[in-house]
Amino acid sequence: MDHDDVAAEALGVSARTVRNYIQRGDLTAKEEHEGITDRYLVSVDSLYALRGKRKNEARGKRNGRRVSEAAETQGNDTTELLRETIARLETRAEQNAELRTRLQLTAQAESTLRDALDRERERADRAERRLEELEARLAEPVEAPEPREMAADAPEGANLQEHYGGPEEGAQRSWWRRWFGFE
């Protein structure tokens, strides 16, 4: 048996709390009167039993706190996870909007390029047709002018052969004259 001060020290509480335990029946003790002070002799077995009970309660409370802390931590983790997920979704939404804009611009550019290509093809076709016409004109044989026409073209008093050269030369000269606008 111990005195209530020793019991208080063993339990880590005050002497008053030990007396409250005795009154509630949590500790078994005998009252001892010494002069004006009352002292209690506490049973060692009841002291160990109460001490064990208090440790178990403390563990339960800590475990409860741990569970609650774990739940809180888990709640915080969930909140953080949600924030990260929302941030990722916002980033993806921005990327999708940017890609949509790029796609629209690409479609517009493609349409513009196709129109320009069609116009260029039409222009090239017209130019090719014109070239074929001109080549066909150049390929046509040039008729030699009649001697009477040659005489009309020649300056007065000029010798036709001197003016136009021989018959072949006259035909060539005549063609060149027409080409450069001398006739």
25 SS3 class: coil
Q: Do the beta carbons of residue 169 and residue 144 sit within 8 Å?
A: no
Per the DSSP assignment, residues forming a β-bridge with 36 are none
Q: What is the residue whose two structure tokens read 């009252």? A: 31
Model confidence at 39: pLDDT above 80: no
pTM confidence score: 0.33
Domain range holding 175?
Answer: 144-180
Are residues 164 and 126 both part of a single domain?
Answer: no
Q: In the predicted model, what is the mean pLDDT of residues 152-160?
A: 54
- Domain assignment of residue 155, yes or no: yes
- Domain assignment of residue 32, yes or no: no
In total, how many domains does the chain have? 2
Of the two residues 159 and 107, the one the predictor is more confident about is 107
- Domain assignment of residue 99, yes or no: yes
Instruction: From 3, 8, 12, 6, select the one nearest 40 (Cα to Cα).
Output: 3
Residues 62-93: tens digit of each pLDDT: 665 555 555 666 667 788 888 889 999 999 99
